[in-house]
Structure 1
Amino acid sequence: MPRAQDQIVVMLSELTANLVDRHDAESVLRLVTAACESLLSASATGVLLADPRGGLSVVSASDERARFLELLQSQIDEGPCVDCVRDDAMVACPDLEDGAGRWPAFTRAALDAGFRAVHAVPMRLAGDAVGGLNVFYAAVTPWEAWQERLGQVLADLAVLGLSQDDGPARTHRLAEQTLTTLNDRVMLAHAIGMVAGALDTSTDEARRLIFGYAATNRGLVRDVARKLTGGDLDAAALLQAADAS
């Protein structure tokens, strides 16, 4: 276990260091592929991304077998990655023999290529699935819960690397985001004070109520703070939501 932990730390540190430094898409995807092979013991990997025309395009593959299978999925609109992106959910197929009825053409091609299992992980951006990370195995391979979580982390890091600006535009965006964050903090502090005063409670409790209301309603904390300070949301509603949950 210590050795596995060391591997995870090394691989993730390389990935994150690459994200904060100057990088290109190819280098990020190469690191994600290496992490899948090292940490998830993958035989091969591939990445499909949604393109503006509404289909899926192959943007990365660890070898030609994986590239062929990714291209096949994009062309026939069939396979675990297609389902993964369409349903925005992880698709696990620990034994492709069991998936023959679900994806007949893909399964036949994957087995012929020497793969027996595949796990497809959604790549999400702004709440939508924009692609899928496919992890192939030569033998029957079920994933444990920690592997599912790690697979999702790697897919998320790949999206971060592919969606970030580089150079001056990236620095400018960070400055804008910092200013927005500072403004949000001021507004949140105002909202906390208003809730604490209206409910005659502590600021810690007021903060908990605001965050809890945002989580229950699947909203953003800054939006809740804006509604409170703008008079569109009453402090009592936060208390009622907390009591109902």
Structure 2
Amino acid sequence: MQKPIPREATEAFASLAKLVYAGGGTEEILSAICQTALEVIPGADHACISTLDDSRKLHTQGATDDVAALMDKLESEADEGPCLDSILEDSVQHDADITDGTKWPRLAELTVSRTPVRGMLGYQLLEGLGSRAAFNVFSDTPGALTQESVDIGAVLAAFTSVALAASERQATAENLRKGLESNREIGKAIGLLMAAHSVSAEEAFEILRGASSRTNTKLAALADKINESQQATLP
């Protein structure tokens, strides 16, 4: 029978959910998730979230410390490891002790010589970050990443995918809102220029765009200034 998720892990996930839906930025969310991994996953000493580019190089998007970030570089150098395999094979990767036989011998050699890491976990992230991504956990103690660690890590990885997707949707909605507001200000400024200079909408837009270019001011910002000036002249 599978052991239930510990209460402290459930509480940590609830806190992360509040951060996501309060509109926390992606960087803040990634940092919080990595730190939470150390608090709730038995045996975890380092954690990172990474993306994979088309040349099979990993890029750290969030990490608890320099050791976690270095593991991305070592995996890229070795061209093997739990992060790469979790993404490419769409599977959970687990090696509790890389010093006792491992499917990643090149990575194990680099890791043992340059870091305290001895155990590894890797999970594919299904959504977010606009690229293939993984959530990775490392332990300095051989054998410390147990099946319980794997199970809790899987829940956190699933949460991470959902959180990143939610954050991405919030960012898209916010950008759309800002775009609509900018367009509305530009439209009002064009209307004022049309009335002031007796020109068409197209001509008014060219006046606005030319002024934006000459003053090195963004179009929306310039439109906002024009509208503010008009408001100031009203009785």
Same fold (TM over 0.5): yes
Picking from 57, 60, 67, the partner of 1:58 is: 60
Q: Could you tell me which residue of structure 2 aligns to residue 44 of structure 1?
A: 46
Does the 8 A contact of 2:17 with 2:163 survive in 1? no
Does the 8 A contact of 2:139 with 2:145 survive in 1? no
| CA pair 9-80 structure 1, distance change in 2 beyond 3 A | closer
SS at match of 2:99: helix
Structure 1 residue runs of 5 or longer lacking an equivalent are: 173-245
| Inter-partner Cα distance in structure 1 for 2:13 and 2:127 | 20
| CA pair 168-83 structure 1, distance change in 2 beyond 3 A | closer
| Inter-partner Cα distance in structure 2 for 1:70 and 1:47 | 9
Structure 1 residue 170: Cα displacement: 6.3
Q: Could you tell me which residue of structure 1 aligns to residue 27 of structure 2?
A: 26
Count of matched residue positions in the alignment of Structure 1 and Structure 2:
166
Matches within 5 A, 1:1-245: 5-41=6-42, 42-51=44-53, 55-100=57-102, 102-112=103-113, 113-125=115-127, 130-140=132-142, 141-144=144-147, 146-163=148-165, 164-166=168-170, 169=173
Deviations 1:23-70 (A, max 9, x none): 111111122112211111311112221336664322122111121111
| CA pair 97-22 structure 1, distance change in 2 beyond 3 A | same
Q: Could you tell me which residue of structure 2 aligns to residue 176 of structure 1?
A: none
TM-score, normalised to structure 2's length? Answer: 0.62
Does the 8 A contact of 2:56 with 2:76 survive in 1? no
Q: Could you tell me which residue of structure 1 aligns to residue 211 of structure 2?
A: none
| CA pair 93-125 structure 1, distance change in 2 beyond 3 A | same
| CA pair 69-44 structure 1, distance change in 2 beyond 3 A | same
SS at match of 1:153: helix
| Inter-partner Cα distance in structure 2 for 1:159 and 1:36 | 14
| CA pair 125-15 structure 1, distance change in 2 beyond 3 A | same
Is the radius of gyration larger for structure 1 or structure 2?
2
| Inter-partner Cα distance in structure 2 for 1:80 and 1:54 | 13
Q: Over aligned residues, Cα RMSD in angstroms? A: 2.7
| CA pair 169-54 structure 1, distance change in 2 beyond 3 A | farther
Structure 1 residue 83: Cα displacement: 1.1
| Inter-partner Cα distance in structure 2 for 1:62 and 1:151 | 15
Structure 1 residue 135: Cα displacement: 0.8
